[in-house]
Structure 1
Amino acid sequence: MSWWGKVAGGAFGFMLGGPLGALLGAVLGHSLDKGMKGMEGAEELGPGDRERVQTAFFTTVFSVMGRIAKADGQVSKDEIALAETVMREMDLNVEMRNTAINLFNQGKADDFPLDEVLDQFRRECHRRNTLIQMFIEIQIQAAYADGRMDGAEEQSLLHICRRLGVPEFAFRRLEKMIRAERHYAGAGRGRAAPPPSKPTLNDAYAILNVNADATDAEVKKAYRRLMSQHHPDKLVAKGLPEEMMKMATQKTHEIRQAYEQVKSARGI
């Protein structure tokens, strides 16, 4: 049975416990609440339970996305469109989509326990840095839903990174990469923001996270590293929900496009 089947059936999701389990319980209703009773100690599940990590990732992605959308004081149509686009790319069924929407709305609430949610998510990831990086990338995309990142969104993202143990230089690198990827992804993947300009060679280097004066060997090494980090099967094995494979595939496509552009410019 898939991770979602176990969550929806009350056979797994309630075992998550903590603030993430409470979020799911509030969204999925009374049947889950009943399952949570008498489950003290359920959080002691050992590491490596992929379905548990998938549940934590799904819950955290959409609830924190709601918090990012509310960071500047109001949720714009573009930010709602971004959340809907992510749901569409995940090809969620009706029940999962409704859950994602409700998690997004919970993230907008004034009493949303952001730090507690992030602390538990970090524990659930068991130092899977590529999974945490993918989470940060999605949140940066949410911040750019309207075409720009304002100061409040930036401060919220920096706080999230600190809580997850992601240094600021890594955040800046990912932000630069996401801005460049927008040019390869067309008009913001269905967002209402104005279409970005066509990708430049500088965008290609930004996506590969190398300087223009990098050697051919360094460019190739960076490309291979990024393709490995974003490989859909590897990410799912680490706990990315299967429904997000399409997003990971899109990222590898953009990385490949950037690499081909650099190769063409260098004549290699």
Structure 2
Amino acid sequence: MRIWGKVFGFALGFMAGRIIGAIIGLWLGHKFDQGMGIDFNAFNKQNDNERQNAFFKATFSVMGHITKASGRVTEDEIAFARGAMKRWGLNQNTTTIAQQAFNQGKQEFFDLDKQLRQLKSSCFGRHDLLQMFIEIQIQAAFADGELHPKERQILHKIARSLGISARELDFLLDRIVAGEQFHQGGAKTPQQAKTQLENAYKILGVTSNTEHKDVKKAYRKLMSQHHPDKLVAKGLPPELMEDAKQKAQDIQAAYELISAQK
């Protein structure tokens, strides 16, 4: 039981207005003690859950909207969505929610602007989380091996709505394509080794002429943005942590490959 608010309220009230002041001070102190009794941890946990749910629903509904942009959803795009659900280890309940959100996003009446406003509101002040969101959407758009003009148009709309510049989006597009090739590619021949190194530079957003200190700076910035624990703390659903880990591993591998060449 909290009493210090009542004690100080009574004392200050008595000094200011004797008995009447003491009564008022006691009442104000009681209200203060009640306020101090609020479980802020539970409140913050509720906000985190709401943020994760908003991110999760937006991820699949917007993914469905993007895949339908070219006129029809391809088998590769469906496979990407299913693969994401499997890769993220969704249980039956969350898989159903994801499927419903994906199908909702494909509908003509889907309100992309409203969905993005809700996402931005839930992730206010969490730019890294919003960047992770658009990275997932870029991967979905490239699922069939190409980027349709309408898909690009939607990606730019998403970026503007989330406060991501066109320049930053172009950087993300180059980095994600390079990341996919870097993650899948090998270095069995000199040409493959050259391509792998070029992709490593693109992942970090640097060039072969960039000084090593600036390469290291870019690497640290990207690792900070994609650190799985930081992203989850900011509201990334835990199911998506594996994707964040993979991105961090690719950034690390790209930096190590470039460092070996410097």
- TM (norm. structure 1) is 0.76
The match for 1:164 among 130, 146, 162 is 162
Deviation at 1:199, TM superposition (A): 4.8
Deviation at 1:185, TM superposition (A): 2.7
Asked if 1:182 corresponds to 2:180, the answer is: yes
Asked if 1:262 corresponds to 2:258, the answer is: yes
Asked if 1:53 corresponds to 2:58, the answer is: no
1:198 to 1:178, Cα distance in 2 relative to 1, 3 A = farther
The match for 2:197 among 197, 201, 206 is 201
Deviation at 1:67, TM superposition (A): 0.3
The match for 1:217 among 207, 213, 218 is 213
Q: Which amino acid letter does the alignment assign opposite residue 242 of structure 1?
A: P
**Preserved contact between residue 67 and residue 107 of structure 1 (Cα < 8 Å):** yes
Asked if 1:233 corresponds to 2:222, the answer is: no
Unaligned runs of 5+ in 1: 1-44, 188-195
- TM (norm. structure 2) is 0.78
The match for 1:98 among 93, 96, 99 is 96
Q: Which amino acid letter does the alignment assign opposite residue 213 of structure 1?
A: N
Deviation at 1:46, TM superposition (A): 8.2
**Preserved contact between residue 180 and residue 199 of structure 1 (Cα < 8 Å):** no
Tell me the equivalent position of 2:30.
Answer: none
Tell me the equivalent position of 1:31.
Answer: none
Tell me the equivalent position of 1:141.
Answer: 139
Deviation at 1:64, TM superposition (A): 0.2
1:247 to 1:114, Cα distance in 2 relative to 1, 3 A = same
Larger RCO: 1 or 2 (CA < 8 Å, sep 6+)? 1
CA distance in 1, matches of 2:119, 2:63: 14
**Preserved contact between residue 182 and residue 200 of structure 2 (Cα < 8 Å):** no
Tell me the equivalent position of 1:243.
Answer: 239
**Preserved contact between residue 184 and residue 198 of structure 1 (Cα < 8 Å):** no
The match for 2:78 among 80, 84, 87 is 80
**Preserved contact between residue 175 and residue 203 of structure 2 (Cα < 8 Å):** yes
Instruction: Give the aligned length.
Output: 214
Q: Which amino acid letter does the alignment assign opposite residue 99 of structure 1?
A: I
CA distance in 2, matches of 1:206, 1:48: 39
CA distance in 2, matches of 1:148, 1:61: 20
CA distance in 1, matches of 2:194, 2:94: 35
**Greater CA radius of gyration, 1 or 2?**
2
- RMSD, aligned α-carbons: 2.0
CA distance in 1, matches of 2:249, 2:229: 14
Structure with the higher fraction of residues in helix conformation: 2
**Identity score, percent:** 46
